[in-house]
Amino acid sequence: MLVLDSALVHNFTDVPLHTIEEARHALWREPRGSCRIAPSSLDDVDRMCRAVQAGKDCIVLVDEAHFWLSAQSGVSSELTKLMRATQHARVDLYLTTQHLTGDVPQTALSCTSDLYVFRCTAPRVLQTLEREFSIPRETAGSLPQWSYIERRIGF
């Protein structure tokens, strides 16, 4: 498993932190290891995404994906390619974000079949969840910690 730890949060400290080159070796040698990188630029994300597409058979978690894939700012073309090619690359790809309405471009939503919603409190997010995904505001706003709602949104 590969974690792109965009914000270096404590949630992933049990996964060893590697450079991109170290991660490329750890992910595809035997025995296969889990690793975490802390990308410092869009170029780092693009390089790692190209490695994942070439190496195949990988689980990838991009935490705080809005750093690299934003509806408002720069977009990683390689992350977009990976999202569109997960089946061909035999990759399970998971992206997290704090703010659905501003962080997630339509490209990302069109590449997924599942949306997992944890507790949200931002009014615009609650409005979007209700309007576009039929999740009542009260439900999304009152979920207990670690609970989520799963919505099938794609094919």
Please write the tens of the pLDDT for every residue from 64-79.
888 887 655 556 788 9
The overall longest dimension of the chain from CA atoms, in Å, is: 48
Assign residue 78 a region: left if phi > 0, alpha if psi is -120 to 50, beta otherwise? alpha
What are the residue boundaries of the structural domains of the chain, listed by start?
2-112, 115-155
∠ Cα 29 9 68 (to 5°): 75
What is the tens place of the pLDDT at every residue in 26-80?
898 878 889 999 999 989 999 999 999 998 899 999 998 888 876 555 567 889 8
Helix (H, G, I), strand (E, B) or coil at 13: coil
Q: Are strands 91-95 and 58-63 parallel, antiparallel or unpaired?
A: parallel
pTM of the model: 0.84
CATH superfamily of 2-112: P-loop containing nucleotide triphosphate hydrolases (3.40.50.300)
Q: Where are the alpha helices (DSSP H) in the chain?
A: 20-28, 42-55, 77-84, 86-89, 100-103, 106-110, 123-133, 137-141
